[in-house]
Amino acid sequence: SLEKLLGPMPLLNYLDSFRYPLAGEFSMISDLARINRIPGDWGIEIETLSEVYRNCSHMRICQVELCETYEHKHQPLSADSPKTGLMKMSIDIAKAIFRNLAIEGATVSDGLLKTLIVTYLRTAQDSIKRYNDDAALNGLLFDRHQENKLVEAFTKAIQIAGEEFQEDPRYSPLIPNWNRVTSAIPDFLEQLYDTVEKENS
């Protein structure tokens, strides 16, 4: 839906190139870890991928399979509670996307956000019909009502995320990177090492 509204954008293309951009597993070299800021909310994957996008040569970024199966942290939908469950996750992820699009120069306006809600809703409804048809052709069960409830909840999450983003577009859950920490507290890494050693002895 964002590509439909904003046209081709390198950041959207980059994020779309990952098979599981929300899987939660990643690794990086220590030099990159020292300059990347990591968020403290459910937008961690999008924010981390976006930080890597800005701080690393794209030729050095790759996706690898860490294991054959994934055990994801499943959350209840919590459609009526935007501070918990999938609603909280969806809102944090959407805000991370909006923030990083703005960083890349996209105008994330009220008009764009309202149009995004309508575009997403229609695209998702069309996808539900296609998935329902595929399931019927293959003799699989497909709970169309439950899928529609999810789409309605995610549409609401996009709306809430847009409102929160517009209230404070500069807000970021990113914690300072290690270079900033060691600039403020030069011997912090040694203190951290000593603390870990004491805790493990």
Element (H, E) at 142: none
Give pLDDT, residue 125.
96
Please say if the pLDDT value at position 25 is more than 80.
Answer: no
Give pLDDT, residue 159.
97
* Closest by Cα among 86, 93, 100, 107 to 152: 86
For residue 147, name the pLDDT band (cuts at 50, 70, 90): very high
Contacts of 70 (CB under 8 A, 6+ apart): 20, 23
Average pLDDT score, the chain: 90
Give pLDDT, residue 2.
95
| pLDDT single digits (tens) 91-128 | 999 999 999 999 999 999 999 999 999 999 999 999 99
| pLDDT single digits (tens) 33-69 | 888 888 888 888 899 999 999 998 888 888 877 777 7
Amino acid letter, residue 19? R
Q: What angle do CA 145, 150, 153 make, to 5 degrees?
A: 125
d(CA 89, CA 100): 17
Contacts of 125 (CB under 8 A, 6+ apart): 148, 151
Give pLDDT, residue 38.
84
| pLDDT single digits (tens) 70-96 | 666 677 788 888 888 899 999 999 999
| pLDDT single digits (tens) 13-22 | 999 998 877 7
